[in-house]
Structures are given as structure tokens and as C-alpha cells.
Amino acid sequence: MISHNARLVVLASGHGSNLQAILDACSAGEIPARVAAVISDREKAYALDRARNAGIPAIYFPWGPYRQAGKDRQAYDSDLADLVLTYNPDWVILAGWMRLLGNSFLGRFPMQVVNLHPALPGTFPGTNGIERAWEAYQNGEIQHTGVMVHFVPDEGVDNGPLIACETVPIQPGDSLETLASRIHAVEHRLLTAAIRSLIIKSPLPVQRTENNKGD
């Protein structure tokens, strides 16, 4: 029987579909862990509702009061790290977390912070990766995009050591919406597989290709 002793803290800023994939995989025993807490910098993030519905601590931790008090990002990141540490996580998962984290946070969790990004390594770092890939396809610059899961060891943007990635071809009949739907499906699967691989210490193949033709 697989032990479920690993503890995850998930940081999410939005709808939380990747969080839900993690929750479902934990519930099904596919990930030998449990989500100890979900933290969001946005009060109305549906990710917090998903956590509450699952009986998991859901914490709103906004940046605004720090800015209004004249405090810098380092103060916010340090206090956020203190909050996360109260849940004693084995892994901190960034599942749609839209704020850059500085070294005052990352230094407290060396090689424990894992990020999901909807692009391949070295392409479209930062926000709106799917939309930017779609524009590049429309301009004839690329024929595929992808998804990657990587460690976040420092303040670099989407360039940490790779855990797993998967290529997603852009099909001639794709719209932005159908491409995004297929990318999200890969995100859910690849993120949960990557978390499982970290916990059971069984590395995934770094590169796979998603061949689905539909949406």
C-alpha cells in the first residue's frame, strides 16, 4: 500500500483546474500525498473555492496591503514563506500562481518549488504563453508548442531545471480555444505525473509528444 505522507502546498491565482487535477489524483491514490493548504493572492480565485469544497485550508494572502504600507516584494515573499512553512510541505506547487517569487521565498524551499508552464523550455516565458504560441503559429514561426514542469530555484522566469515536458502539435484546424483545451488537458496529466515522480523518486521521460487530433 502506498503511503500518503507527502504534503503539498499549492499556490494558485485563478480558476484552479490544475489544482483540481492534483486533488483528484491525490484522492484516487495516483499521487501518494495530500494537499495541506491552498494559498491565493486573489480573493475571488475559484481555486480557493475548490480547496474549501475539499475541506482543505484556503488562504487569501494579498499583495495589496504590503504595497499600501510601502513594503517591498521581499517582505511579502518572506511572510508568504512563513505562512507556507506552517503547513510543513514537502513540495510547493505553483499551479497558475501569477506572481513572481523572489529569493526571500525560494531560498526557504531549496529545490522544493515546482512550477507548471504552458510552453516548451526556452519558449514564451512569463504570462500568456498559449496566446503567444498561437500568434507565432499564425505568423508561420512554429508548428507546435507544449507544456513543461520545472523546479524554481531562483528568480529566473520559467527557466529552472526541467522535470518533464511534452510537445503539443498545433493542428491546421485549431482555434485558440481548441489549442488551449488540448494544452490544459496535457497540463493536468503532466503535472500530476511529475508530482508523483518526485514523491516516489522515479523520474519521468523528459520529452513526450501529445498526438491527439481533437480538442
For residue 208, is pLDDT > 70? Answer: no
Distance CA 110, CA 17 (A): 26
Model confidence pLDDT, tens digit, residues 187-206: 999 999 999 999 998 777 65
Average pLDDT, the chain: 92
Angle between helices 17-27 and 176-200 (to 10 degrees): 40
For residue 1, is pLDDT > 90? Answer: no
pLDDT band at 2 (very low <50, low <70, confident <90, very high): very low
pLDDT band at 118 (very low <50, low <70, confident <90, very high): very high
Which residue in 6, 19, 18 sits closest to 54, CA to CA? Answer: 19
Model confidence pLDDT, tens digit, residues 141-193: 999 999 999 999 998 888 899 999 999 999 998 999 999 999 999 999 999 99
pLDDT score at 213: 36
Q: Domain ranges in the chain?
A: 6-128+147-166+190-209
The residue-averaged pLDDT of 28-42 equals 96
Model confidence pLDDT, tens digit, residues 85-117: 999 999 999 999 999 999 999 999 999 999 999
For residue 59, is pLDDT > 90? Answer: yes
CATH among 1.10.1740.10, 3.40.50.170, 3.40.50.2300, 3.50.50.60 for 6-128+147-166+190-209: 3.40.50.170
- Residue 96's region, left for phi above 0, alpha for psi from -120 to 50, else beta, is left
pLDDT score at 10: 98
The torsion angles phi and psi of 198, rounded to 5 degrees, stand at: -65, -40
Catalytic residues: 117
Q: Are 126 and 69 in contact (CB under 8 A)?
A: no
Those residues with Cβ within 8 angstroms of residue 201's Cβ, 6 or more apart along the chain or in another chain: none
pLDDT score at 5: 82
pLDDT band at 3 (very low <50, low <70, confident <90, very high): very low
Distance CA 42, CA 60 (A): 7
Among residues of the chain, what percentage have pLDDT more than 90?
A: 87
User: C-alpha 105: how far from its chain's center?
Assistant: 16
pLDDT score at 215: 32
All cell numbers assigned to 154:
531562483
All cell numbers assigned to 147:
507544456
pLDDT score at 214: 34
Those residues with Cβ within 8 angstroms of residue 119's Cβ, 6 or more apart along the chain or in another chain: 125, 129, 130, 132, 133, 145, 146, 147, 148, 158
Which residue in 168, 159, 181 sits closest to 137, CA to CA? Answer: 168
SS3 88: coil
For residue 211, is pLDDT > 50? Answer: no
User: C-alpha 213: how far from its chain's center?
Assistant: 25
